[in-house]
Structure 1
Amino acid sequence: MKKLFFLLAILFLTHSAQAQLFNKERLANQETFDKRFLTWGYFLGFNSYDFKFEYENENPDDRTDILVDGDVGFNVGLVGDMRVNDYVNIRLEPGLYYTQRNLRFPGFEEEKDILREVKSTYIHVPLLVKLSTKRLNNFRPFIVGGISTSLNLSSNEGNPQDNSGGEFRMTKTTNYFELGFGIDFYLFYFKFTPSIRGVFATSDELVPDEDPNSPWTGNISQMSTRGIFINFTFQ
């Protein structure tokens, strides 16, 4: 279902761009929009978070990897855009991101030991550089990249209980780098921007169990988030 969802989103972006490209209508909407030094807006969207695990035992034949099942989450936030020149903008996009990942630890017999539900509510703040092409008719493709940080409001980093008590612990803050692309569509009253962005954590988010030989975290050397954001921005 997730793969189908993201495939449909990509097809939507491609189809919309083709429709604008081959449309003979040349009436330009929002002609002076990109000349403004500062612009504001908001976004709504979806996310899919995953975990990348690195293990102490690097031999895959001698370990049991943790399985991650991610759900589609929801994003909402604000956009602040500063124009540098005709093709470069700097953007700040603080938002609230809801997500859930289910971890399954092979090797246990009881479901209470196998499954860990990781629910997260992030305040996510990216600082991005947007590189745009020349505007063509009423659309303009771009790529975007930058760095970001997030505060996990659902973090249980300070909880004295660990997996032996049913608690899978994560850090409160995480740092990332981000890369994506999108298309600006200049409509009559506003600019509409669908975009897809990948996020990759650069910091370890795991709070290990007290027991260094824990069957849950003892063989994990690092756990870091990977994710895909699909946002729809209105400016």
Structure 2
Amino acid sequence: MTHIRKVFVLMLLMLIGAGTTFAQERKLQNKPYIDQRRLHYGFFIGMHDQGLSLENAGAIDPATGKQWTVKNDHANFGFHVGVLGELKLHENLALRVVPTLYFGSKHFEFFDQSTGEKQSQDMKSTYISVPVHLKVTAPRWNNYRPYVVGGVNMAYDLTTGKHTLLRTNAFNPMVEVGLGCDFYLPFFKLIPELKFSFGLGNVLDKKRDDLMESSDIIYTNAVNKATTNMVTLTLYFE
């Protein structure tokens, strides 16, 4: 979680820096009328860390007596791209739709309690998603405007059929919360945003008809529950 804390601290410092502008004199505003438009469009790029929270079951393979545990052992950064559509509902409230394509992976380590044997799996995932968010903004001061955002993300994994030891369901609903700041530059608006996503249900696929041997299915049986989580850092250009 160290990398998550570092990113969070950087984002927090950015917002604190934006907040200190309230103690400054007013300056010439860039793009002074951009927020008066009812519809806003843009695009974005970013990086993220996909994760899977696992609940171990403690199952024992009846054929070998092995008892496997599994953990999501390290971060694997991926990238994402998409487009932004924003509808102004109120002076400080907007509805956002942000179709996104995520490319990334998750890495798991399996450990046998009795022999110390280890196995690993690199689970690559390509999500296509359509998050819907409410954006609540503070009043603009000079060329800064911090905000918070929250909503739901309906993500679909295009690569689940290629997963081996563990497999997840394709549909991954998540709730999301985040914070960011609008920076008004001379020719466009730059918006860095830090966001946290939390899965709403168990996405572990327990119906593994492709696994015929107990030595293969034991990895799936070793886990009771798996929930998706994600941390994203995004740059919007509007």
Displacement of 1:109:
5.8
Q: Distance in 2 between matches of 1:229 and 1:35?
A: 28
Match of 1:135 in 2: 140
Deviation of the 1:197 alpha carbon? 0.5
Which residue in 2 is equivalent to 1:75? 80
Measured after TM superposition, the shift of residue 104 of structure 1 is 0.3
Matched, 1:233 2:226: no
| Runs of 4+ more than 6 Å apart | none
- TM alignment of 1:116-135, pairs within 5 A: 116-135=121-140
Deviation at 1:12, TM superposition (A): 5.8
Q: Distance in 1 between matches of 2:98 and 2:237?
A: 12
Asked whether the 8 Å contact 2:56–2:225 carries over to 1, the reply is yes
Q: Counterpart in 2 of 1:155?
A: 160
| Equivalent residue letter for 1:53 | L
Mapped contact 2:178–2:193 kept (Cα < 8 A): yes
Task: Report how far residue 35 of structure 1 moved.
Answer: 1.3
Q: Which whole-Å CA distance do the structure 2 matches of 1:76 and 1:16 have between them?
A: 27
Gapped regions of structure 1 (runs ≥ 5): none
Tell me, yes or no, if the aligned pair for 1:67 and 1:105 is still in contact at 8 Å: no
- Partner residue in 2 for 1:174: 172
What is aligned with 1:26?
27
Distance in 2 of aligned mates of 1:90 and 1:122: 22
Contact (CA 8 Å) 2:148, 2:178: kept in 1 or not? yes
Measured in 1, the distance between the counterparts of 2:199 and 2:49 equals 14
Give the length in aligned residue pairs.
Answer: 222
Conserved? CA contact 2:26–2:141, under 8 Å: no
Cα distance change, pair 132–15 in 1 and its aligned pair in 2 (3 A): closer
Query: Counterparts of 2:14 and 2:50 in 1: how far apart (Å)?
Result: 21
Post-superposition offset of 1:64: 3.6
1:201–1:225 Cα contact (<8 Å) kept: yes
Q: TM-score normalized by structure 2?
A: 0.82
1:13 aligns with 2:18: no
Aligned to 1:224: 227
Percent identity over the alignment is 25
Shift of 1:16: 4.8
| Most deviating of 138-147 and 67-76 | 67-76
Q: Which secondary structure does the structure 2 equivalent of 1:131 belong to?
A: strand
Q: Deviations over 1:179-211 (max 9, x none)?
A: 011001111111111010000011222112457
Q: Please give the secondary structure, in 1, of the residue aligned with 2:7.
A: helix
| 1:28-107 alignment runs, 5 A limit | 28-56=29-57, 64-107=69-112
1:212 and 1:185 map into 2 onto residues whose CA distance is 56
- RMSD, aligned α-carbons: 2.6
- Could you state the TM-score of these two structures normalised by the residue count of structure 1? 0.83
Distance (whole Å) between structure 1 residues aligned to residue 195 and residue 72 of structure 2? 24
For 1:220, the aligned partner's letter is V
Distance 1:216 1:167, change over 3 A: closer
Structure 1: distance between partners of 2:8 and 2:136: 24
Q: In structure 2, what is the Cα distance between the partners aligned to 1:123 and 1:223? A: 20
